[in-house]
Structures are given as structure tokens and as C-alpha cells.
């Protein structure tokens, strides 16, 4: 009985149940607030500046928010994921779209590393000697 109690104490003390919010904290009435947005100024006043603006194709402002759950030794999980997309033309907001958990695809991360073309692979000793002379001593202002 003592062993079981000791085991449960160790296991439960190692578990943390914590939720951290990542990205934007959207208001609960996001749908109604976004419906009245017509200009980029309205959008930045209500939500803020976007995390990402697209560079190619249509100009789209992207906002993202999610809750990251820590459950001890179990893998991290995300819920309450919300993405706000705003199509912008000049200073006006042409269209908005709100995506929630069910609308977002599950993306699986592949194991391994992506090869970089023409990359030079150095071992630890080569890296050490390669960095000699690259850095100036602190305080010289160079």
C-alpha cells in the first residue's frame, strides 16, 4: 500500500494541468464585431495589427489564436483555435472569414529534417574553427 501511495504521489506531482493562450485573444462576439468592419482602421481598432499579411496574390490579413494545453507527460494539445482572414484592398476590408477548430485541417509534421540544397555540413571541430575571427570583443563598438 505504501508503494502504491508513493507511486501515485510521484506521478501526480509530475503532472501539470496548464493552459496557455497563443496568438490573439478574440472577443466572444467576434462575428458581430467583424460584421461592422469596413476599413482597415476599424479592423486594427477592434482586433489589432495582423500577425501575417500575404505577399502574393490577394492582400489578406491573418489573425490566429489558440489555447495550448499542458497535461503533464502527455503531448501538448491545442483547442479553441480560431483564424480570422480579412481580404484587404487599399484601405477597405472587402471580405472576412472566421475559421474555427472544425474548419481547420489537421497537419501532421513529418519526422526527420529537410535537406537544404548546396548546404555545407560541418562537424563540431570545423564549426569551432570556422567561427574564429568572426566576432569582435565586446565594447569595441565595431
Full-prediction pTM beyond 0.75?
Answer: no
Q: Where are the alpha helices (DSSP H) in the chain?
A: 2-14, 30-35, 40-46, 124-130
Residue 57 has φ and ψ, to the nearest 5°, of 75, -145
What is the C-alpha to C-alpha distance for residues 39 and 94, in angstroms, rounded to an integer? Answer: 8
77-89 and 92-99 beta bridge pairing: antiparallel
Per-residue pLDDT 10s for the chain (142 aa) are 888 887 777 666 666 677 888 888 888 888 888 888 899 999 898 888 999 998 888 889 999 988 888 777 677 777 778 888 889 988 889 999 888 888 888 888 888 877 778 777 888 888 888 777 776 666 665 5
d(CA 49, CA 64): 11
Amino acid at each position: 500500500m505504501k508503494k502504491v501511495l508513493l507511486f501515485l504521489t510521484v506521478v501526480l506531482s509530475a503532472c501539470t494541468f496548464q493552459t496557455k493562450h497563443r496568438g490573439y485573444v478574440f472577443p466572444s462576439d467576434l462575428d458581430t464585431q467583424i460584421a461592422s468592419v469596413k476599413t482597415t482602421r476599424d479592423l486594427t481598432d477592434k482586433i489589432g495589427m495582423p500577425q501575417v499579411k500575404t505577399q502574393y496574390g490577394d492582400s489578406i490579413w491573418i489573425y490566429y489564436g489558440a489555447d495550448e494545453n499542458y497535461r503533464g507527460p502527455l503531448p501538448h494539445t491545442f483547442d479553441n483555435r480560431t483564424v480570422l482572414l480579412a481580404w484587404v484592398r487599399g484601405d477597405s476590408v472587402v471580405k472576412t472569414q472566421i475559421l474555427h477548430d472544425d474548419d481547420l485541417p489537421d497537419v501532421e509534421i513529418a519526422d526527420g529534417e529537410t535537406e537544404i540544397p548546396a548546404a555545407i555540413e560541418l562537424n563540431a571541430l570545423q564549426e569551432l574553427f570556422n567561427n574564429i575571427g568572426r566576432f569582435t570583443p565586446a565594447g569595441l563598438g565595431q
